[in-house]
Amino acid sequence: MSSRGHASDKMKYVPDSLRWLIAITGVLIVIGCLNIYSSTYYMDIYDGGSAYKHISNHILFLLGGIFAAWIAVKLGTNKIQQGAWLWFIAVFLLLILVKFAGISVNGANRWIMLGPMSLQPSELAKVAGIIWTAAFLAKRIKNKEPITVFYGILNRPVGKRRKRRGLVHHFLPILCPAVLATIVLLQPDMGTAAIILFFPGLLYILAGMPFLEILAGIVTAVCLGGYLAVVSAYRAERMAILWDPFADPLGAGYQIVRSLTAVGSGGFWGQGPGEGVYKFLYLPEQHTDFAYAVFSQEFGFIGSVAVMCLFMGFLMCGFSCARQLKQPYESLLVYGLTLLISIQGIINMAMVIGCFPVTGIPLPFISYGGTSLLTNVISVGLIWGAVISGREKSDIEERRRMIKAMEGQLAPSGRKSFNHF
């Protein structure tokens, strides 16, 4: 069969929800390209360089992300699942390299230089953690092991053949994210560290963790997060200023005040594409963490709500795809990556309008950041590959059951869909 015919056969496994997810991603990428050029051309000229410096780098990383996503699709979900250890080791070594050979920006050591460009391994850690947790939770589901941590440690399993497992076994699905998050926390970057741990934790819930353990996990996370937030002076200051940034508009509240002013000045219809003035060095980080403020000023309330709806649409389409999958790994992977992209978008927008503390969480596809864009495009590629692979596996299993039925050898019962919603 020719490669064209093989690709055509694969396309029959693409549901409408996945097509919509790709379309939404395309719209967000176009918005990001336009917004990055609008928010950086004056800054680039002011620095004495080309007006196209940032947008050129952005497009270069976009093309690199598309190529990497294509490779991920070609590898297939089976190899990605089996190579979860390789993902962890690669990202772990990059984070260690940052510790010894990284560059510091605004007091944080998060980047390593690759010629004229920089790489932020902590962004890659977000995806690596989800791949790892999905892989090991899927094994437990297939082996019919309980999705538990504390209960499995404190209680001896019932049955003669079952043995008490060690601590490593019970914590294995969350081990990789915990290690990576700890390293990132030391950079320091509490926001990204929380993201690395948060979404693998959600996968435990989706996989069927008992309610009492979910409750215990939430209480532990809130207590630990609260402690880390107040033990550091600058984090405590960010939390305090969130309630009233105008109490110190030229100090701790400067960033939020400028952001709120930019968003509010856009009005209902906006000042027009390229016409916003706060990008002219009035708003710090106008092309990265606060890119949404520049977009809101130029496209107004209508544009701001449209972007929110796009991220909500991405979430709904991703969940629709995941609910159609019967294989645990593919389902968990799609759930995790969908949540990663959409919730990061919601957090960033909430931060820009003063409803969330200032963190280093970018707006997916719209904020300038090569590694963030690379990671998000790869994530969409992984979603695409997982959905097609999962539906293809289900089709093959169904055909085998039909053949056995025709031969009078049908198994007592077929597998049920993996769906906890």
pLDDT tens digits, 120-162: 999 999 999 999 999 999 999 998 888 887 665 555 454 444 4
Query: Does residue 5 sit in helix, strand or coil?
Result: helix
Q: According to the model, what pLDDT value does residue 291 have?
A: 92
Label each residue of 194-235 as H, E or C.
Answer: HHHHHHHHHHHHHHCCCHHHHHHHHHHHHHHHHHHHHHCHHH
Mean pLDDT calculated for residue range 298-307: 95
Q: How far apart are CA 179 and CA 34, in angstroms?
A: 37
Percent of the chain with pLDDT over 90: 49
Q: Which of these, 122, 354, 359, lies nearest to 234 by C-alpha position?
A: 359
Report how far apart, in Å, the C-alpha atoms of 150 and of each of 16, 104, 140, 224, 267 are.
40, 39, 15, 17, 51
266-275, 296-305, 404-413, range with the lowest pLDDT:
404-413
Long-range contacts of 40-44 (CB under 8 A, 24+ apart): 40/279, 40/287, 40/368, 42/279, 42/280, 42/281, 43/279, 43/281, 43/286, 43/287
Question: Is the Cβ–Cβ distance between 360 and 189 less than 8 Å?
Answer: yes
Question: Is the Cβ–Cβ distance between 363 and 29 less than 8 Å?
Answer: no
Q: According to the model, what pLDDT value does residue 387 have?
A: 95
Query: Does residue 362 sit in helix, strand or coil?
Result: coil
Query: Does residue 388 sit in helix, strand or coil?
Result: helix
Q: According to the model, what pLDDT value does residue 421 have?
A: 46
pLDDT tens digits, 71-124: 999 999 999 999 999 999 999 999 999 888 877 766 667 778 777 778 899 999
Domain boundary assignment for the chain: 1-82+271-407+415-421, 84-231
Q: According to the model, what pLDDT value does residue 352 have?
A: 93
Question: Is the Cβ–Cβ distance between 127 and 341 less than 8 Å?
Answer: no
To the nearest whole number, what is the mean pLDDT of the chain? Answer: 86
Q: According to the model, what pLDDT value does residue 151 have?
A: 61
